Copies of this chain bind each other. A is one copy, B any other.
């Protein structure tokens, strides 16, 4: 017999893991905005658990940088000022650049074949202006890049940074022409990778992020500007 007094919401893993997923989900999807207070009793009530797993989840989210905690004070969804946001985008550009550079020299034939194939397939999506599907593909593309670097730790760092930027990446591919631009930038990266041209892949990836970063300067005021990352 598993879980005696467990409600039906039970999906996978421990209660704390569920809470981490649930809360980070609320943050990443924008249901909870930067600056929002996360009080333990409300969250516990909302998810019908006790405060203990909520507290542990908040502690973990704090370590992940998604919320900020101070003693005897409610946890707060991490706010980033313009300067910090800029620093995260810059870090993202550097990290993606490293991944692309390493991927260009290390990807297996199979990985190269796969990323090329998927990239080609994504061309259809931009013709259909399928923003949702393209966004999903975009995530796969970047993930493939991170994995292609064949460096577990760098993959962790870039994934983690990506998660922290997530709250600021809403309204992604809805800018006119962004889909096409994104595809072209991917094309540059993929071509360089297939040529095993590490330097070109690295600088193309840096530019790919840097384009977004430029727009990001004005973003704290107007979140709509955010785009493909």
Contacts and interface: CB of A to CB of B under 8 A. Distances in A.
Contacts of A161: 153, 157
A161 B152 CA distance: 12
A3 interface: no
Interface stretch (A88-96, A124-132, A136-144): A88-96
A12 to B, nearest CB: 10
A183 B183 CA distance: 47
B91 A151 contact: yes
Interface residues of A, number: 29
Interface in A86-120: 87-88, 90-91, 94, 98
B153 A91 contact: yes
A36 interface: no
Contacts of A98: 94
Contacts of A13: 71
B90 A154 contact: yes
Given A13-B71, A90-B154, A157-B161, 5 more contacts: A14-B71, A59-B63, A60-B60, A60-B62, A91-B154
Contacts of A14: 71
A157 B88 CA distance: 10
Contacts of A60: 59-60, 62-63
A71 B87 CA distance: 35
B63 A151 contact: no
Contacts of A156: 65
Contacts of A33: none
Contact of A83 (B59, B91, B152, B154): B152
A53 to B, nearest CB: 10
Interface string A189-201: 0000000000000
A100 to B, nearest CB: 12
A56 interface: yes
12 contacts: A52-B52, A55-B56, A60-B62, A60-B63, A65-B156, A83-B152, A84-B152, A87-B151, A87-B154, A88-B153, A90-B154, A153-B161
A22 interface: no
